[in-house]
A = this chain, B = another copy of it.
Amino acid sequence: MISIVIVSHSAKLAEGVRDLAYEMADDSVKIAAAGGLDDDTIGTNAERIYSALTDVYTEDGVLVLVDLGSAVMSTEMAIEMLPEHQQANVLISNAPLVEGAVVSGVEALSGKTLQKVNEAAEKAREMTKVRR
């Protein structure tokens, strides 16, 4: 089963997304939150992301959901800190953070591959929330 890492500029946001994804999935999916800076301000920190990646790493793969901007760069730096054979098993998703995380949790639980979970997460961008 794949694992999930939530990267955000805000620690609260990352933890909240993890909590929500766990509400829809269950504890058998490993989901780690990596948000904010060490002084509790807004930003992303490659070491914090690296630590989340190593906490939940599995050969089945790790899908990383990000908020925006430098979250991608920090995640790429974190992935480069991993042993080379692990790096190919980590994928940064283009999915919207909250919607993609909820879908990923459910799809991971069903045993889908990393690519398939990511496809489902990225489709969450087409989600219609309210009909007019």
Measured CB to CB, the residues of A under 8 A from B are 8-17, 19-20, 23, 35, 42, 66-68, 71-72, 92-94, 96-99, 102, 124-130
Contact = CB atoms under 8 A, between A and B. Distances in A.
B19 A68 contact: no
B14 A102 contact: no
13 contacts: A10-B17, A10-B20, A12-B19, A13-B98, A20-B67, A66-B130, A67-B99, A68-B129, A93-B129, A94-B128, A96-B98, A96-B99, A125-B126
Q: How many copies of the polypeptide does the oligomer hold?
A: 2
Contacts of A10: 16-17, 19-20
A92 B129 contact: yes
A66 B128 CA distance: 11
Contacts of A98: 8, 13, 67-68, 96-98
B94 A97 contact: no
